[in-house]
Structure 1
């Protein structure tokens, strides 16, 4: 069936297509209304060298390497699970800027409170990671690489979780289903009409010989 035939069938069966399409629109709006809003919190930190020098080699290497290591540690599965166990959001990202000691944090949570609490916990985890690793090799606290906040955690966006995507999926699926139902219904109506026409034709063909016989007998 080509596009023109489908179009004609849908126009012919508009009383089937339009109600189904209206139900699709209502379903898409219902799905969109159920989408939950989430808060996005972002922050920026910078790694700073200690105020004193140390003869002990830093286990991370330079500050640039330290940022890369922290990105890996904080982005690990263990870190995500640890935050989730505390009731915080596991939906976050930690990105170390290329060849830089600056790191960006982005957290998406069910509420702004959860997102902000997750950001604070990530900063605490970063400081603890740095402190523990450097203390293990004996680097004095004054000589350790530390973390300073350049841009404090703050809500920068509020997003609906997949709202437009879910509405689009429902709309496309519902529209396609409405089209198919209208076309199939049109085909069934056509088949029924042809069957009735064929039945009438057969009945007439059967009755015609009888009439001919009666006419001959009368003659």
Structure 2
């Protein structure tokens, strides 16, 4: 390769790199524009979906559920517990309200899933009784161990602090955010707390139709 050919090659490579960077920047701006309304509603989409660990939990009917097989619907995954004094009843009440204001076709594509951060007290029977106060269609899951729970929480980046269960009437510190799980069983994003119910009602129909 002559010096001239080498210089032309370098120039073409640089132009290709620059054009690629410009294209990526334009695409990123377009994507950000499309997601602005979602972001204002507290719905944050991940740039790349995350696979969930193959962990088996038990639902409120005593049936095993593989957490990475939450498929065919969009799942709003919430970490909480039935003895929670504040965050959980508020969150579940808001989710019930949001669901009730969505069109039936959208409701059918969504499910609310409560993962207990208190497997010591939250038996399947306790979960079923508790969730029935809000919506019998809400799903409750309890892990077999704190280790399982920690693995799942780490995978979806929803923190909690394991409690000292030896103390009477102990509480569990946990996040009020939701993990957004797509119908393919992967995590697509988060929904930040506190929720703006009206904005979520406006944005969820378009999200579930993606």
TMscore range, shorter length: under 0.3
| Structure number with higher relative contact order (C-alpha < 8 Å, ≥ 6 residues apart) | 1
TM-score by length of 1: 0.25
Question: Greater Rg, structure 1 or structure 2?
Answer: 1
TM-score by length of 2: 0.26
